[in-house]
């Protein structure tokens, strides 16, 4: 599930979803085995359906410290143990600069469409 707050980017996401579904329809998978991709127009701070995910990605390069702290709080309370949370530019930290209940299991620089970005993979440990 993707949550996009900007209407223009939400529309682009829906176009990409359509292309993805066309490509995956050629895989001849049973309907129950096909990947499900959904997008919402809204805010991840209030639309909390993402907490059920196995892998969460936040393009967090421009997020302020308060937003990252709130994101950490929501994820710490709502994500299941063993889920992975990927952030860009900064790790997922609480207001006290603690990462618990997450462990950064990988970090590195990755090429993005706009240039390089530091990536952090967090594992929810409890």
Q: What is the pLDDT of residues 7-16, one digit of tens each?
A: 999 999 999 9
pTM (two decimals): 0.82
Mean pLDDT of 19-42: 81
Residue 97 pLDDT grade (very low, low, confident, very high; cuts 50, 70, 90)? confident
CA dist list (Å): 72 to 27, 108, 110, 115 = 37, 20, 22, 26
Task: Give ∠ CA 24-27-33 in degrees, rounded to 5.
Answer: 80
Q: For residue 25, what pLDDT is reported?
A: 80
Q: For residue 20, what pLDDT is reported?
A: 87
**DSSP 8-state class, residue 80:** P
């Amino acid at each position: 599930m993707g949550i996009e707050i900007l209407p223009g980017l939400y529309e682009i996401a829906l176009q990409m979803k359509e292309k993805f579904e066309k490509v995956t329809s050629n895989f001849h998978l049973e309907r129950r085995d096909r990947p499900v991709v959904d997008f919402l127009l809204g805010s991840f701070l209030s639309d909390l359906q993402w907490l059920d995910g196995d892998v969460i990605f936040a393009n967090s390069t421009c997020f302020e410290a308060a937003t990252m702290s709130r994101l950490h709080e929501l994820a710490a309370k709502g994500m299941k143990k063993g889920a992975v949370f990927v952030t860009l530019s900064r790790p997922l930290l609480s207001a006290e600069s603690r990462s618990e209940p997450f462990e950064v299991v990988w970090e590195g620089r990755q090429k993005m469409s706009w240039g390089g970005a530091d990536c952090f993979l967090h594992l929810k440990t409890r």
